[in-house]
Structure 1
């Protein structure tokens, strides 16, 4: 195992730190409740129903629908299939895992005072996975845009003595000192210079202009992407029932992020005049964080069968920590020494200062009709404005610029969910459909999400066993890098799940 030196990047301003990525911030802001099998079978259209642990995580008033104390847990088999297109070349990949993603219990305390309008008080505790980051795909193709543009984008305008080693310095020492003094952007230019990809116009400390040792032409590029981890939340719930018409609830949520991302680009060329003909560029990101949010919910019985629900989700206030490691290798033709392959591996873990992220709030409205003991139909609508994602501190130059970008590229996204259930004796037959709009103004970056679900349940009396299959599909154009080499790999992703839940009365 390689020995890594842990190094804290500390600069007077965070404006030079570029580890934070807007697409990653978006993924932290999308809290998609994985849910119980019954919840998933109705595609999450549970805002006006309650009576399910995952429904409580959606609308806190749903806990007051329970008449008896209750608990459930859910296990899923997750499968992600990706079809990747990059400059007319296509590749496919698949990722599978089994995951325990939901567990919780609700405790019902009936009011013994029969004259009181408040019928019961309920408390509950629940864990839900809200995002799955496990994914992998591979892109390959012939491009006319080289990785040299990534390093040139960072290097132009920087002094040579701010992106290069001093006499006697090692790669690790220089990489660490440059990060400490000038920030992440200078480190990228340093990697390009030390690997001979960049060449200064003048070999002086004052030089600020650079050219590439990679000649123009076509480039064979292969790009590996692997990510893992998840977002989750633990919710403490309190709910109550007023008469036979109104149910009210509140959730206090503790959120957490655990996310790792690995990318590797291999680029080769045989262009005339190209001194660098082979480049391998590796990047690793580790993100951890925690946050807080709250939810307020209500369910109102309009008639015996018709119910309406409303939920307000506050923004989530995150504190996030990030670490990065990098390395690059380049084969340099016509080099004067005996080592044409330049390996620049600083063996440094960059630890960035903690920053804050506020994800946008959400409002949801729901309608459901319950046909006695025969079944139900349900509809949920939710609205979230992703342009309200905000990095903090606001007085930081870089974060302020990122927030302006967020305001320009993100928009309001609406989500529609439909679900139905039919009961026959001890069996329940379920189905659902959902449609989620793209959060981007330019929907070519991320398309709309569509999904469906089918489920079956069996009621043993005090115990219920539920099984569901659901599938969702979305197309995403993933830029290889945020600057320079910004060409995108088109990923058509199909996420399918088989979920088994055990629920029982206590």
Structure 2
């Protein structure tokens, strides 16, 4: 499918598409150091508050109360390569990544119901992301005042956070079957810009441009619910299944616009409603002994992102996701080995690309336009994550640490914008505007190195 000019003119360009998938459809999955060391794979194991991130039935597995807090230290580096040059930029961030608590209530009856447990989990992650792309002297733009400029550089810059607070209850039936349910509340903040610099061929000076409808700021809140079950098959095997409803987002949005024929340069506000995909997770665990456990989770998206339609922008967004979005597919594998008081953990996860192949017109390195170029990794791509961790149990207290390496490579489109009536799209400065009916495309390598440390107390 080709990405139409009308779509990007009305839908605020690549940033909106990327954020819809990368932020609003991708719930924070930062758990404890143990959870992160095992790549977030715990759907059939359960036993702590992080069960609310995958399968709330895991709350019913707990047999003692527990409280934990996790510090996250994240490093996010993007290297963008274009026309033979590369820019790399790293963002380091420290934050409170996770808080979790479980209260267990043993039922002192002769009933087969053994425990009713209550849990709460808070996950928080930075979504700060900066992609700066070098220029290309062969890419020349002619301005209406008969001057010309070469492309100097471009940047997508995003600040903000995404958090998820979950409350749940889990039940233990005869130590062999577990049920759980959870309510999830989301909060997000996005401060996004899309800017370019062009260099004058006359005097060598540089001019700074902002994309139409940027910078923009969004504040969102959302809600979803989850249900899950876990069943034991003998002493060594468990199977689990969980379903999370779509997240229903309310997004308050404000943005800058330029060269409006009535208002000129001004500022606008609007509200949007988004329904992110429903997800299902199936899990299997093998517990060889008290010393070793292995868990595998597979998550599949069942629906696609969909905006409530207020105008042309939401219609174009929905058409794009209907035609080009691939449902989420993610596999997580995690293992833990216990040696006396020590805990050794490791994991791997793979998430598929969210889009089908997309076709666009793009600029070549010599400044000409190549039409109908197909990309299997445009805007976002698949993601691989490796993790490992170490813990020590002091009986009532414990401390865990983990490391996570996440990598992804994708094609990064920018500079597109067709100006109709000197208003709808393009890049604007105080004195000039740039209109382009093709994209420049860089190759981006994203590497995230994350560290987590958890302090916990069991009671």
> Shorter-chain TM-score: which interval?
0.7 to 0.9
Counterpart residue number, 2:233: 302
Matched, 1:118 2:113: yes
1:219–1:468: structure 2 CA closer, same or farther, 3 Å change rule? same
Can you list the C-alpha shifts for 1:324-368, whole angstroms capped at 9, x where unaligned?
A: 23679xxxxxxxxxxxxxxx994x4322x2110010011111111
Partner Cα distance (2:441, 2:264) in 1: 26
Q: Conserved in 2, the CA contact under 8 Å of 1:135 and 1:228?
A: yes
Question: Per-residue deviation at 1:489?
Answer: 2.7
Q: Which moved more, 1:30-39 or 1:454-463?
A: 30-39
Q: Conserved in 1, the CA contact under 8 Å of 2:137 and 2:152?
A: yes
Question: Per-residue deviation at 1:223?
Answer: 1.6
Give RMSD over aligned pairs.
2.5
Counterpart residue number, 1:341: none
Question: Per-residue deviation at 1:447?
Answer: 2.4
Question: Per-residue deviation at 1:401?
Answer: 2.3
Counterpart residue number, 2:61: 65
| Counterpart among 34, 44, 47 of residue 48 in structure 1 | 44
| Counterpart among 257, 268, 272 of residue 355 in structure 1 | 272
Q: Conserved in 2, the CA contact under 8 Å of 1:214 and 1:276?
A: no
Partner Cα distance (1:302, 1:403) in 2: 43
1:147–1:127: structure 2 CA closer, same or farther, 3 Å change rule? farther
Counterpart residue number, 1:281: 209
Question: Per-residue deviation at 1:408?
Answer: 1.6
Counterpart residue number, 2:86: 90
Q: Conserved in 2, the CA contact under 8 Å of 1:214 and 1:277?
A: no
| Counterpart among 166, 169, 173 of residue 238 in structure 1 | 169
Question: Per-residue deviation at 1:320?
Answer: 0.4
Q: Conserved in 2, the CA contact under 8 Å of 1:221 and 1:268?
A: yes
Alignment of 1:16-415 (within 5 A): 18=12, 21-27=16-22, 28-113=24-109, 115-129=110-124, 131-142=125-136, 197-198=143-144, 213=146, 215=148, 219-270=150-201, 278-282=206-210, 283-325=214-256, 346=265, 348-351=266-269, 353-385=270-302, 388-393=304-309, 396-415=311-330
| Counterpart among 442, 446, 450 of residue 489 in structure 1 | 442
Q: Conserved in 1, the CA contact under 8 Å of 2:28 and 2:164?
A: no
Which is higher, the Rg of structure 1 or of structure 2? Answer: 1
Matched, 1:460 2:454: no
Consecutive unaligned residues of structure 2, counting only runs of 5 or more, are 1-8, 358-375, 418-435
SS at match of 2:186: strand
Q: Conserved in 2, the CA contact under 8 Å of 1:265 and 1:280?
A: yes
Can you list the C-alpha shifts for 1:213-254, whole angstroms capped at 9, x where unaligned?
A: 455xx7232123322211111111011111121111111111
Counterpart residue number, 1:416: 331
Counterpart residue number, 1:205: none
Question: Per-residue deviation at 1:112?
Answer: 1.3
1:298–1:143: structure 2 CA closer, same or farther, 3 Å change rule? farther
Q: Structure 1 residue runs of 4+, over 6 Å off?
A: none
Partner Cα distance (1:85, 1:72) in 2: 42
Q: TM-score if structure 2 supplies the norm length?
A: 0.82
Q: Conserved in 1, the CA contact under 8 Å of 2:386 and 2:406?
A: yes
Q: Conserved in 2, the CA contact under 8 Å of 1:377 and 1:421?
A: yes
1:345–1:16: structure 2 CA closer, same or farther, 3 Å change rule? closer
Q: Which has the higher strand share?
A: 2
SS at match of 2:217: strand
Q: Conserved in 2, the CA contact under 8 Å of 1:288 and 1:320?
A: yes
Consecutive unaligned residues of structure 1, counting only runs of 5 or more, are 1-14, 149-196, 200-212, 329-343
Q: Conserved in 1, the CA contact under 8 Å of 2:416 and 2:440?
A: no
SS at match of 1:139: strand
Counterpart residue number, 1:472: 406
Counterpart residue number, 2:372: none
Counterpart residue number, 1:501: 454
Question: Per-residue deviation at 1:403?
Answer: 0.7
Can you list the C-alpha shifts for 1:280-326, whole angstroms capped at 9, x where unaligned?
A: 11342211011110111111111111111111011001010111236
Partner Cα distance (1:147, 1:306) in 2: 64
